[in-house]
Amino acid sequence: MRNFIICTTLAIFLFACGESEKTGKDLLKEDKKTGKTTKAALTKEVLTDIINSIPLSLEVSFLIMDLNIPYDKKALSSADDVSKFNNNYKQAVNLGIYSTDLGYANIYSQTQDALNYLTGVKMMADGLQIGQHFDFQTIKKLASSKNNIDSLLLVTNKNLEDINKHLQEKGRPDLTILILTGGWIESLHLTCEVTKKKPNPLLKSRIGDQKIILDQLLLLLSFYDDNANIKSLIEQMNRLQKMYENVKITIKTKDVPIKTSGDIIEAGGESESIIEITPKDLENITNVTKEIRNKMAE
């Protein structure tokens, strides 16, 4: 069961990276006359495709637990700070952060911590007027058992789709992107902190793989850089992108035989992601990610 969950998580993640990179390139167009790269219009369909291609933070929590790494409460955001988040920007990014911490605490059966984060999630979701799209009871119940991973991922993804649709209808897709960014930052922060205390090659590779996701988030945020808070966030994320400059990701594809009906053997493509990340790169990414996360939670 343990190996199955790890393989399933990695398969979902690698597929997401490939789709995200493809969609992101579709948004960038080169002017043949000037040679400059410009952004195409961010349609609802493209935004939804990119959002759906980014792995859910719950996948990271399941991966950490399946590696038999102990629960680390100190790596999480304080559940007592919710009253400080009194505007849409703060509520959105910290809704993403708290949702990640809620899933992590629930997966480790840390009931009291989970209840505290659940309360914060509900307060911020209600503040953003999207509380009706969070199935709080079902998420809490499913996240308490690793045997429900498939159902949990489906429910969480459905919630995100409903929220995205609602915010698009209300003309606020920027809030969806902020929620997603907050959740991604907390997920990366958690992975970095766990890896720092208990080094693991699988988690190290996962941190390196986030270079692709970071590019996509920056692209999405760039459509709303006229907002002062988002502009500031982009500047912080650009610092993180710089820390990723030396990280190399190589996708190798090899043909493997696939047995089909009638004993006919056909060649199929199998991809392998090779991540090159130095200890110094990992340290820099860890430090800057923590700074961004702490800034969000101020």
The ranges of the chain with pLDDT < 70 are 1-42, 44, 52-53, 55-56, 140, 142-150, 152-153, 156-157, 160, 254-271
- Please name which of 33, 39, 19 lies closest in space to residue 219, comparing C-alpha atoms: 39
pTM: 0.78
pLDDT at position 226: 92
Local structure of 191: helix, strand or coil: helix
- Alpha helix (H) ranges present in the chain? 2-27, 44-53, 57-66, 88-107, 111-127, 136-143, 149-169, 173-197, 201-222, 228-243, 279-296
- Distance, CA of 200 to CA of 204 (rounded, Å): 6
pLDDT at position 255: 58
pLDDT at position 7: 33
pLDDT digits (tens, 9 = 90+) for 63-95: 888 888 999 999 999 998 888 998 999 999 999
- Distance, CA of 191 to CA of 193 (rounded, Å): 6
pLDDT at position 104: 87
pLDDT at position 268: 52
268 and 258 Cβ atoms separated by less than 8 Å: yes
